[in-house]
C-alpha cells in the first residue's frame, strides 16, 4: 500500500525511513527548495526595482499583487480545511469508532453510577473474597481508547491501592497494580483437605500455632466445612459465633473449591464490603436482592415458606449477582481476563438452579480465642490462616 507523503516525511524525521523512502523524501525537498528559491528571487527583484525608483510596469505589479493575494487565500483555506478535517476526525469519526467497542463511560444501569463501577463491584464480590472495589473514574482518549482508575481495598487491613487500566477497542492493553496474583481461598488441594488424617493433623497444627499467640492477635482464616451448608445452616452457624465476622461465603458450583479462578460466592451480613453501589432503585427492580440489606428491609413476596429471612436473602443476593454478571459477561470479561474463556458463571448458575445454594467454606475473621473455639466445631474440616494482626489498645 502506497504511503502518503506525510507518513514518509514523519518516518524520515524519526530516522525510520528506508533508503528508498529517504531518497523519495529528499527529492521532494530539493524540488521545494528550488521552487522557494525561484519565488524568492522573483519577489526580491521586484522589491529592488521599487526601492531604486526604476520604472516597473503596472501590469507586473498587478500580477504580483494578485499572486500574493491568491497565495494568502490558498494558505488560509488550507489552514481552515485542516482544522475542519481534524474536527471531523476527532468529533465525528472518533465517537463512531467508540460505539463499535466496549465503552466504560456508559450509564445505562444506574442514574448515579457508570456501568463499569457496577460491573467491577459485582465481579469483585463474586470472585475476590478479600477485596472490594470503588467507583471507577474513566477518561476517554478517543477512537475506543479509555483510561480507567479505581481503588481496590484489602478488607482485612482496610488499606487501598489504586489500580489503572488502559483499554483500547475492547481489550485491556496495560494494567497497573493488578491483583491477578492473589492467593486462592484455599491453598491446599481439596483431596488433601478431605483426607481425614491430613485434616486432623492440620487442625492440631493450627491449634498449636494459635495457642502460642497473644490474646490481642486477630486473624483472617478460611474454613472448609465437613459437609456443605444450606443457607439456613449457614445463618445458624453465623448466629452461633456472633463475635466472628463472616467476610465471604464460597458457594458450590460443581467445579471444585480450591482454584481461585473458578470460585464464586458472596459477602453476607456483617461483611466489611460496602454495597452502596447496588442501592439504585431501577437496578433492584431488575435484580431483586442485589442489595442484600435493602431486600431484607423490604423483602416483598417470600418464595421460601418457613425459611429464615436471612437465609432467603442470601440465596437471592447470590443469584442476583450471578444473573447480573451473566447478563453483562461480555462487558465484565473486559475487566477480568480470567472470565473470557471461563464458563464459571454459567456453571455456577446452572448448579444452583439444580441443587440450590450451598456453601463449602467461608472466609472469616476473629480473635485468637474465638478461632480456637471455632476450631473445635464438628462442622469444621480444615482451617488455613490467611493473615494475622495485633489489635490496637
Domains in the chain: boundaries? 5-98, 115-176, 190-390
> CA 141 from chain center: how many Å?
17
Between 25-34, 140-149, 246-255, 326-335, the lowest mean confidence (pLDDT) is in: 25-34
pLDDT (tens digit per residue) in 198-209: 999 999 999 999
pTM, two decimal places: 0.75
Higher pLDDT, 101 or 126: 126
User: What is the Cβ-side half-sphere exposure of residue 177, based on CA atoms within 13 angstroms?
Assistant: 11
| Confidence (pLDDT) at 392 | 73
- Strand-pair partners of 140: 146
pLDDT digits (tens, 9 = 90+) for 362-392: 999 999 999 999 999 999 999 999 999 998 7
Cell of 100: 463499535
* Burial status of residue 291 (CB atoms within 10 A of its CB: 0-12, 13-18, 19 or more): buried
Residues 332 and 122: beta-carbon distance below 8 Å: yes
Residue 211 neighbours by CB under 8 Å, 6+ apart: 372
Are 308 and 235 in contact by the 8 Å Cβ rule? The answer is yes
Average pLDDT over residues 12-24: 75
Estimate to the nearest angstrom the gap between the alpha carbon of 84 and the chain centroid: 36
In CATH, the architecture of 115-176 is Roll (2.30)
**Residue spans of alpha helices (H) in the chain:** 5-14, 19-51, 58-88, 94-98, 115-127, 190-193, 196-211, 231-240, 281-286, 292-297, 309-327, 329-335, 337-341, 344-355, 368-375
Amino acid at each position: 500500500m502506497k504511503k502518503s507523503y506525510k507518513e514518509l516525511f514523519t518516518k524520515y524525521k524519526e530516522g525510520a525511513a528506508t533508503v528508498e523512502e529517504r531518497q523519495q523524501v529528499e527529492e521532494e525537498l530539493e524540488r521545494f527548495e528550488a521552487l522557494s528559491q525561484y519565488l524568492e528571487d522573483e519577489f526580491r527583484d521586484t522589491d529592488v526595482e521599487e526601492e531604486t525608483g526604476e520604472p516597473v510596469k503596472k501590469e507586473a505589479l498587478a500580477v504580483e499583487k494578485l499572486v500574493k493575494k491568491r497565495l494568502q487565500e490558498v494558505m488560509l483555506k488550507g489552514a481552515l480545511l485542516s482544522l475542519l478535517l481534524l474536527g471531523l476526525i476527532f468529533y465525528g469519526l472518533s465517537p463512531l469508532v467508540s460505539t463499535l467497542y466496549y465503552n466504560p463511560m456508559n450509564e445505562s444501569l444506574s442514574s448515579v453510577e457508570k456501568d463499569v463501577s457496577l460491573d467491577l463491584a459485582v465481579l469483585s464480590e463474586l470472585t475476590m473474597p478479600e477485596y472490594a472495589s470503588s467507583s471507577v473514574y474513566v477518561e476517554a482518549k478517543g477512537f475506543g481508547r479509555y483510561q480507567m482508575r479505581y481503588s481496590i481495598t484489602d478488607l482485612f487491613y482496610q488499606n487501598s491501592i489504586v489500580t489503572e487500566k488502559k483499554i483500547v477497542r475492547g481489550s485491556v492493553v496495560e494494567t497497573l497494580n493488578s491483583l491477578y496474583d492473589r492467593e486462592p481461598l484455599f491453598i491446599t488441594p481439596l483431596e488433601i483437605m478431605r483426607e481425614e488424617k491430613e485434616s486432623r493433623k492440620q487442625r492440631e497444627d493450627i491449634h498449636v500455632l494459635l495457642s502460642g499467640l497473644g490474646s490481642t492477635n486477630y486473624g483472617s482464616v478460611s474454613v472448609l466445612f465437613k459437609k456443605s451448608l444450606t443457607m439456613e445452616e449457614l445463618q445458624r452457624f453465623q448466629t452461633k459465633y456472633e463475635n466472628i465476622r463472616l467476610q465471604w461465603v464460597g458457594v458450590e458450583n460443581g467445579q471444585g473449591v480450591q482454584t481461585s479462578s473458578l470460585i464464586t460466592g458472596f459477602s453476607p451480613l456483617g461483611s466489611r464490603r460496602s454495597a452502596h453501589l447496588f442501592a439504585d432503585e431501577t437496578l433492584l427492580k431488575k435484580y431483586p436482592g442485589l442489595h442484600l440489606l435493602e431486600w431484607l428491609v423490604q423483602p416483598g413476596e417470600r418464595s421460601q415458606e418457613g425459611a429464615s429471612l436471612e437465609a432467603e436473602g442470601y440465596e437471592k443476593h447470590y443469584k442476583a449477582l450471578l444473573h447480573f454478571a451473566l447478563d453483562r459477561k461480555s462487558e465484565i470479561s473486559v475487566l477480568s481476563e480470567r472470565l473470557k474463556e471461563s464458563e464459571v458463571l454459567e456453571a455456577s448458575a446452572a448448579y444452583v438452579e439444580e441443587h440450590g445454594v450451598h456453601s463449602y467454606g467461608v472466609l472469616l475473621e476473629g480473635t485468637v480465642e474465638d478461632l480456637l473455639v471455632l476450631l473445635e466445631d464438628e462442622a469444621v474440616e480444615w482451617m488455613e490462616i490467611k493473615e494475622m494482626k495485633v489489635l490496637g489498645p
